[in-house]
Amino acid sequence: MKRRLLATAALCALTATALPAQAQQTIRLTAAAGHPPVFLWVKLIDEYFIPEVDKPLAAGGKHKIEWTKAWGGTLIKIGSESKGISDGVADLGFVSTIFEAPKFPMQNVSYYAPFGTSDIGTVAGVVNDMQTSIPAMGQAWTKNGLVSLAGTALDSYHIWTNFPIKSVDDLKGKKITAPGPAANWIKDTGAVAVAGNLNTYYEDIKSGVSNGVITFATGAWGAKVHEVAPYITKVNFGSQFAGALAMNKSRFDKLPPEVQKVFREVSAEYGKRFAAAQAEAADGLLRKMADAGAKVSELTPAERTRWATTLPPIAKTWAADLQGKGMPGDQVLNGYMNGLKKAGAQPARDWAVK
C-alpha cells in the first residue's frame, strides 16, 4: 500500500510538471479610425497606444492581444466611428465628437465658445473634468455603448484662404469651409459657410467650392491645404475639444481587470503625449508651410476681439437649445468658461450665461 501511494504521488508530480502553469489568453481586438495615420490622433494609437498596451501584457504573460488595424476609413468612415465601435464592427478607435454632434452635443461646448485659449492641455483637461463632474456629459458615452478612454483637444484653429485677410471685412462674400459647429465662427461676418471635413478640404478649395477653410495646423498639413489656400491668417479661434479614444463598452467590460487597468493607464499617457506632440507639431508645421511658400500673418488683437464680438450669442443660443431638450446646457457652458479662467486663460469673449 505504501509503495502504491508513493508511486501515485510520483506520477502526479510528473504530470504536473508536464503541463503549463497557465494557458495564455489571446484577446482579439480591432482598432479603426476614419482618418489615416498621417493625423496625430490616429498615428499615436498605431505607434504608441497599441505597443504600450502590449508591453506590460507580454511581461505578465497571462494575456496577449492580437490586433487588427483599419485606418483611413477602410472599415469605419468619418462621422460613423461611434456607431461602428458600439455595433462591434471595431472594438476601439478615435471618435470625433465634432462630427457626431447629435450624439455628443455637450462635448462640443468649446466649438460654441470660440476665442478661448490655444493651450491644448487646458481645453482637454477642462472638458475631461466636466465629463466626470457633470453626469449627463459622461452618460453621453455610455448611452452610445462606449467607454471614453482619453479625451483630446486639437491645436488652435486659424483660417487658410486663397485670398489675404487683414480684417473681418475681407470675409464678405467669400465661401469658407467650416467643420460642423465651426460654421458659427463666421456668422454675421458676411462669409458663407460650406460643410466639409479634412478629407474634402483640398478638393473643395481647388475646385472652387470654397475660398478657404477654418482648421488647425496639424490637420491642414496632413490635408495639404496650404497648397491651394496659401494665405494663413492666425486668428486663434482657440484649441477645441474634438473627441476621444474610445472603446466598445461591452467589450471593455469583459476584459480581465488587469487588462482594463493597462488600458486606462496607457490611455492617460496617450492624452498627455497627444497634447504635447500636437502643440509642438503645430508650431513646426506652420513653419514648414511658410517654407513651402505659404504667407503666414497674424490678426491683430484688436481685430481678433472685433471678430469675437461681431458674432451673435452663439454660445447662449446653444446652451438654451440644450436646456430645452432636457440637458444642462447652462451648466456645461458656464463650467467650461469657469474652467478656462481658473486655468489662467483670458478668453477674448466671455460666453457664460449670466
Q: Give yes or no for a contact between 71 and 33, defined as CB atoms under 8 angstroms apart.
A: yes
Any domain includes 352: no
What are the grid coordinates assigned to 192, written together? 458663407
Any domain includes 178: yes
Q: Describe the crossing of helices 120-133 and 329-342 by its angle, rounded to 10 degrees.
A: 140
pLDDT-above-70 percentage for the chain: 94
- pLDDT number for residue 327: 98
> How many domains does the structure of the chain reveal?
1
- pLDDT number for residue 17: 42
Domain boundaries, position 86: 22-342
Any domain includes 58: yes
Whether the predicted pLDDT of 18 surpasses 70: no
Question: What pLDDT digit, counting tens, does each position of 255-272 carry?
Answer: 999 999 999 999 999 999
Any domain includes 4: no
Domain CATH code at residue 102: 3.40.190.170
Q: How confident is the model at residue 99 (pLDDT cuts 50, 70, 90)?
A: confident
Contacts with 290 (C-beta within 8 Å, 6 or more apart), sequence order: 232, 296
- pLDDT number for residue 1: 44
Any domain includes 210: yes
Q: Give yes or no for a contact between 63 and 77, defined as CB atoms under 8 angstroms apart.
A: no
Q: How confident is the model at residue 197 (pLDDT cuts 50, 70, 90)?
A: confident
Mean pLDDT of 96-111: 93
Q: Give yes or no for a contact between 110 and 240, defined as CB atoms under 8 angstroms apart.
A: yes
Q: How confident is the model at residue 5 (pLDDT cuts 50, 70, 90)?
A: very low
Where does residue 101 rank: exposed (0-12), middle (13-18), buried (19+ CB within 10 A)? middle
Any domain includes 270: yes
Average pLDDT, the chain: 92
Question: Higher-confidence residue: 36 or 10?
Answer: 36
pTM value is 0.85
- pLDDT number for residue 198: 85
What are the grid coordinates assigned to 261, written together? 487597468
What are the grid coordinates assigned to 190, written together? 458676411
Residue whose C-alpha is closest to residue 94's, from 111, 74, 78, 106: 78
- pLDDT number for residue 22: 60
Any domain includes 31: yes
Residue whose C-alpha is closest to residue 98's, from 219, 191, 7: 219
Any domain includes 176: yes
Mean pLDDT of 4-13: 44
